[in-house]
Amino acid sequence: MLIRLLREYLRPYKKPLSLVLLLQLAQTLATLYLPTLNADIIDKGVILHDTHYILKTGGFMLAITLVQIVCAVCAVYFGAKVAMALGRDVRHGLFSRVQRFSDREVNHFGTPTLVTRTTNDVQQVQMLAIMTFTLLLSAPIMCIGGIILALNQDVKLSSLLVVAVPLLAIILTLIISRMRPLFKVMQERLDNINRVLREQITGVRVIRAFVRDPQERDRFEGASSDLFGVQLGAGKLMAFMFPSVMLVLNLSTTAVVWFGGHLIADGSMQIGSLTAFITYLAQILTSVMMATFMFMLVPRAEVSADRIMEVLDTEPALHPAATPLPAGSEPGRLELRHVEFRYPGAEAPVLHDISLVALPGKTTAIIGGTGSGKTTLVNLIPRLIDVTGGSLLVGGIDVRELDPAALSDAIGLIPQKPYLFSGTVATNLRYGNQRASDEDLWQALEIAQARDFVERMPDGLESRIAQGGTNVSGGQRQRLAIARALVHKPQIYVFDDSFSALDYATDARLRAALATEVTGATMIIVAQRVSTIRHADQILVLDGGRVVSAGTHDELMLTSECYREIVLSQLTEQEAAA
């Protein structure tokens, strides 16, 4: 998965990568050439007392060193630039894919792991890319070039490499093979600690209300300790890696000095050649050590790449049409024809044979007990989920064939739990219509009965809104969400129990304003309060995922026992008849 991910996302950067490879090759060759020049200075300059040769070769070494520095700096710059672009592109790919997910895919992965995969997992792959472009590319060149030049200095002494390099490779293989499973568990434990922390921050009021602080501290400590245990195990293996490399390097150097000393005594090897050989040995084993550092990152990057590709390879359940159709001639017309919805693997459908027609200028209300399928039905309209039977039409066109942009323009959804984004009142209201003027915003706030408290805010429309709208009350958050939909100016408004956080007086004023100010749109209202929907043009009563009755309030009071029970649980006979 790691190779596949890198191949896919590095394809646009072939030219910069080729330049990085050339620069790394140049600086590595320069590094390898310096010990040979140093050996020549010792053998032909120092021993023979040839000052001119020492100065000439030394100057040449300085020029080679300057080339090496320039190439190394440029290689690091372009390599880091490509690695940063890789991280940006992978995050963009993950974000784009998650944005296309339906609720089913989001719930399958879970929010905490999606956050971790988009941040920490991408960071692991990006770190591997940075180290590869700045270190690993030069390691094999250094190792192979060093072996060739070491053989050039002395073939007999080079036989030590046959022992040192394989020994080092065996040690590293044994360590790395035990690290990869730990990194997989580490990422899962990181998901868990992210989930626990997110729940505790979000639910801090509930925790304090039930005085569960000690238990939640223990819960977080347990998740943190689980992560610590895995990280400690991986850290021990990492700590064992570098001493192993240094042990092999030092033993090899000692052996070279020992056997090289005898060769110098025999006259079969010169002092400069021995010095160069020791340098090449150090370069060879250093390149192996650099590769070792990379191999410490590879197992964790592999695990992260697997998790990233799992998200990228997940096909959204909601597929856009191959040839999407534009909006119909009557975009405010909503029609459900024998709609059925069944969750994957469920034995029975949640919704059975739902049919209705909602027209512009009319209000259609949906009411029913808990678990009757109201919210599921509402989620079908903006195509948050797809029908599994029948068809749902907006403007006479099946939503599965409709252009997603046209569907978004036609529908304004006010969810049961409204969400406001961090920013200002104005940025939240303009979320669906960036071209809206301040007058449009104030008009929407007026209709939504939110103008009074926005005017009381220190900066009016520019007042700050915290993430999730936590710095305003539930009722204020609900009214701002309604105003946001009004600024969007869709043809179909879908209110999913959007009046539950409002008091009765505000609820009545808001509905009255909607009836007079928003006259040409289709209104779909899901509510628990009978007072909210009793004046609707048609009311659908859901029970067990079926429409058990439909009609006006007065008609249903006479014909529907289910509706009558709901009404009388909230109102008296006299209030219901008024």
What mean pLDDT do residues 309-318 have?
85
pLDDT of residue 577: 65
What total number of domains does the chain contain? 2
CATH number at residue 352: 3.40.50.300
- Is residue 440 a part of any domain in this protein? yes
Report DSSP letters for 385-446, one per residue. S--SEEEEEETTEETTTB-HHHHHHHEEEE-SS----SEEHHHHHGGG-TT--HHHHHHHHH
Spatial contact of 447 and 412, defined as CB atoms under 8 Å apart:
no
DSSP state of 325: B
Percent of the chain with pLDDT over 70: 97
b/e per residue, 343-370, with b = 16+ CB within 10 A?
A: eeeeeebbbbebebebebeebbbbbbee
- Is residue 318 a part of any domain in this protein? no
- Is residue 327 a part of any domain in this protein? no
Are 264 and 371 in the same domain? Answer: no
Closest CA to 447 of 504, 494, 517: 517
Domain limits for position 430:
334-577
In the three-class reduction of DSSP (H, G, I as helix; E, B as strand; rest coil), residue 540 is classed as strand
Q: What is the mean pLDDT of the chain?
A: 84
pLDDT of residue 278: 78
Please enumerate in sequence order all residues whose Cβ is within 8 A of that of 103, keeping only pairs 6 or more positions apart, or say none.
Answer: 379, 384, 385
Are 195 and 262 in the same domain? Answer: yes
For 488, other C-beta atoms within 10 Å of its C-beta total 20
Read off the pLDDT of residues 511-540 as tens digits, 9 standing for 90 and up.
888 888 888 889 998 888 888 888 888 999
Spatial contact of 295 and 241, defined as CB atoms under 8 Å apart:
no
The pTM assigned to this predicted structure is: 0.70
Are 357 and 458 in the same domain? Answer: yes
Strands 397-398 and 351-358, bridge-based pairing: unpaired
- Is residue 136 a part of any domain in this protein? yes
Are 462 and 525 in the same domain? Answer: yes
Are 138 and 197 in the same domain? Answer: yes
Are 449 and 511 in the same domain? Answer: yes
Are 223 and 352 in the same domain? Answer: no
What mean pLDDT do residues 223-233 have?
88
- Is residue 322 a part of any domain in this protein? no
What mean pLDDT do residues 495-520 have?
84
Please enumerate in sequence order all residues whose Cβ is within 8 A of that of 335, keeping only pairs 6 or more positions apart, or say none.
Answer: 356, 357, 358, 392, 393, 396
Q: Is the pLDDT of residue 50 over 80?
A: no
Read off the pLDDT of residues 82-128 as tens digits, 9 standing for 90 and up.
999 999 999 999 998 888 887 778 878 888 788 888 988 899 899 88
Q: Is the pLDDT of residue 222 over 70?
A: yes
Read off the pLDDT of residues 149-207 as tens digits, 9 standing for 90 and up.
777 766 777 777 778 778 877 887 788 778 778 877 887 888 888 888 878 887 887 88
Read off the pLDDT of residues 477-488 as tens digits, 9 standing for 90 and up.
899 999 999 998
pLDDT of residue 576: 63
CATH number at residue 21: 1.20.1560.10
- Is residue 181 a part of any domain in this protein? yes
Strands 334-341 and 389-394, bridge-based pairing: antiparallel
Rounded Cα distance, 128 and 125, in Å:
5
